[in-house]
Structure 1
Amino acid sequence: MNIEIQCCGLILMITILIMNNLSGRGRFILYSSKLFVAALLVSIGTICFDILSMVALYYIDSIPMWLTEISCKAYIISLVFEATSSLVYSMYDCFSYKRYRYFAYTALVLDIISSVVIAALPIKFNVTDPQHAFTEGPSVLATYAACLGVLCATVFLLIRYGKRMNKQRFRGVMLWVICWIVAAGIQFFNNALLLIGFATGIGMTVLFAILENPFAWIDRDSGVFNLPMLHEYMRQQYNRSKRFSMISISFATHSGLIEAEDDLRRSLASYFESYAGTRVFRNNRSGFVMIFDYGTKDIQGILKSLRRDFSKEWIYGKNHKSSLLAPLFLVMEDSLITGSASKVFALSNYASNTSVDDTGTVIYMDEQMVKDAMEFEKCKNEMISAMKQDRVVVFYQPIWSNEEKKFVSAEALVRIRKADGSIIPPGVFIPVAEATGHILELGRIVFEKVCRFIRDKHPMDLGIEYVEVNLSVKQCEQRELSAVYRGIVQKYGINPAYINLEITESSTIEIRQNVIENMHDLIRFGINFSLDDFGNGQSNLDYIIDMPVAIVKFDRNMTQSYFTNERARLVMSTIVDMIHKMHLKIVAEGVEHREELAELDRIGIEYIQGFYFSRPLPEPEFMEFVKKYNFDQTFNV
Structure 2
Amino acid sequence: MNIELQLCGLVMLVVFLVFIEREKKLNVKNRALFLAAFITCIICLIFDVVSIICIHEAVYNGFSPLITRIVCKAYIILLVTQGYCSFLYSCLDIAIRHSFRLVRMLTLGVYIAGEVLIVVLPIDYHMDGRLVYSYGPAAMCAYIMAAFFISVILVFTVKNKRNMPHRRVIALFTWQGLWLIAAMIQFFFKDVLLVSFASAFGMIVLYSQLENPNEHIDRMTGLFTQNALSLYLNDRYKYSDPFAFYTARIKYLVPSTELDIRKNAVMRSAAGFLELGKEPIFRIGDDMFCIIYDSSERAYQKLLEIKARADGVTDIPVEAKFIYFPDSSLLSGPDEVYNFIHHYDDSSEDVIVCTGDLVQQMRYRSEVYNLIENALRDDRVVVHYQPIYNISTGSFTSAEALVRIVKEDGTLIPPGDFIPVAEDNGQIIQLGIRVFEKVCKLLASGEPQRLGIEYIETNISVAQFDHENPAGFVQNNIEAYKINPCNINLEITETADNELQHLLLLNMEKLIKMGVSFSLDDFGTGRSNLDYFVNMPADNIKFDLTFTQGYFKNDKIKHVMKGMVSIVHDMDMKIVAEGVETKAQYDAMVKLGVDYIQGYYFSKPIPAEEFIAFLKDSNL
TM range (shorter): 0.7 to 0.9
Q: C-alpha deviations, 1:361-399, integer Å up to 9, x for none?
A: x22222222322222222222222222222222222222
Q: How does 1:347-386 map to 2 (within 5 A)?
A: 347-352=340-345, 356-358=347-349, 360=350, 362-386=351-375
Q: Which moved more, 1:27-36 or 1:445-454?
A: 445-454
2:68 maps to 1:77: no
2:29 maps to 1:31: yes
Aligned to 1:262: 263
Aligned to 2:245: 246
How far apart are the structure 2 equivalents of 1:160 and 1:210?
A: 21
How far apart are the structure 2 equivalents of 1:126 and 1:458?
A: 98
Q: How does 1:198-213 map to 2 (within 5 A)?
A: 198-213=197-212
Q: C-alpha deviations, 1:94-140, integer Å up to 9, x for none?
A: 24499999987875564343234235445565656x45655555444
Q: C-alpha deviations, 1:18-72, integer Å up to 9, x for none?
A: 4433423xx1421211211111122233344445556667777435455665555
How far apart are the structure 2 equivalents of 1:532 and 1:251?
A: 39
Distance 1:208 1:78, change over 3 A: same
How far apart are the structure 2 equivalents of 1:202 and 1:521?
A: 70
- Aligned-residue CA RMSD in angstroms? 3.8
Aligned to 1:323: 317
* Matching residue within 307, 327, 333 for 1:334: 327
Shift of 1:314: 5.2
Q: C-alpha deviations, 1:465-515, integer Å up to 9, x for none?
A: 333222346546977774444444444444444333322133457742343
Distance 1:460 1:309, change over 3 A: farther
How far apart are the structure 2 equivalents of 1:154 and 1:385?
A: 39
Shift of 1:146: 0.9
How far apart are the structure 2 equivalents of 1:404 and 1:16?
A: 89
TM-score (norm 1): 0.84
How far apart are the structure 2 equivalents of 1:2 and 1:487?
A: 80
> Aligned with 1:297: secondary structure?
helix
Q: How does 1:451-490 map to 2 (within 5 A)?
A: 451-455=440-444, 458-472=447-461, 475=464, 482-490=471-479
Aligned to 1:634: none
Of all paired residues, the percent bearing the same amino acid is: 34
Aligned to 2:42: 44
* Contact residue 58 and residue 131 of structure 1 kept, 8 A: no
Distance 1:277 1:55, change over 3 A: closer
How far apart are the structure 2 equivalents of 1:251 and 1:87?
A: 44
Aligned to 1:635: none
* Contact residue 248 and residue 331 of structure 1 kept, 8 A: yes
* Matching residue within 512, 515, 524 for 1:535: 524
Q: C-alpha deviations, 1:69-90, integer Å up to 9, x for none?
A: 5555444333322221121112
* Contact residue 384 and residue 403 of structure 2 kept, 8 A: yes
Q: Which moved more, 1:34-43 or 1:387-396?
A: 387-396
How far apart are the structure 2 equivalents of 1:259 and 1:629?
A: 67
How far apart are the structure 2 equivalents of 1:442 and 1:539?
A: 21
Aligned to 1:435: 424
Aligned to 2:281: 280
Shift of 1:543: 1.0
Q: How does 1:495-506 map to 2 (within 5 A)?
A: 495-506=484-495
Shift of 1:536: 1.0
Distance 1:532 1:108, change over 3 A: same
Q: Which ranges in structure 1 are unaligned for 5 or more consecutive residues?
A: 316-321, 632-637
* Contact residue 251 and residue 258 of structure 1 kept, 8 A: no
2:560 maps to 1:575: no
Aligned to 1:544: 533
* Contact residue 223 and residue 266 of structure 1 kept, 8 A: no
Aligned to 2:502: 513
* Matching residue within 551, 554, 566 for 1:562: 551
How far apart are the structure 1 equivalents of 2:468 and 2:311?
A: 35
Q: Which moved more, 1:427-436 or 1:469-478?
A: 469-478
How far apart are the structure 2 equivalents of 1:356 and 1:580?
A: 41
Aligned residue type for 2:377: K
Distance 1:105 1:605, change over 3 A: same
Q: Which ranges in structure 2 are unaligned for 5 or more consecutive residues?
A: none
Distance 1:295 1:608, change over 3 A: closer
* Matching residue within 595, 599, 613 for 2:584: 595
Q: C-alpha deviations, 1:558-595, integer Å up to 9, x for none?
A: 12222332222222222222223333333222121233
Distance 1:596 1:153, change over 3 A: same
Aligned to 1:290: 291
Aligned residue type for 2:223: V
Aligned residue type for 2:383: V
* Contact residue 477 and residue 511 of structure 1 kept, 8 A: no
* Contact residue 398 and residue 411 of structure 1 kept, 8 A: yes
* Contact residue 552 and residue 587 of structure 1 kept, 8 A: yes
How far apart are the structure 1 equivalents of 2:15 and 2:402?
A: 64
How far apart are the structure 2 equivalents of 1:588 and 1:476?
A: 28
Q: C-alpha deviations, 1:388-440, integer Å up to 9, x for none?
A: 22222222222222233322222222222222222222222222223333333
How far apart are the structure 1 equivalents of 2:120 and 2:258?
A: 65
Shift of 1:251: 6.1
Q: Which moved more, 1:50-59 or 1:87-96?
A: 50-59
How far apart are the structure 2 equivalents of 1:444 and 1:149?
A: 60
Aligned residue type for 2:321: L
TM-score (norm 2): 0.86
Aligned residue pairs total 616
Aligned residue type for 2:337: V
How far apart are the structure 2 equivalents of 1:445 and 1:385?
A: 13
Q: Which moved more, 1:426-435 or 1:478-487?
A: 478-487
* Contact residue 396 and residue 452 of structure 2 kept, 8 A: yes
Aligned to 2:115: 115
* Contact residue 505 and residue 543 of structure 1 kept, 8 A: no
Q: C-alpha deviations, 1:217-267, integer Å up to 9, x for none?
A: 223344322222222222333333433222222468969969973222222
Distance 1:127 1:303, change over 3 A: closer
* Contact residue 470 and residue 506 of structure 2 kept, 8 A: no
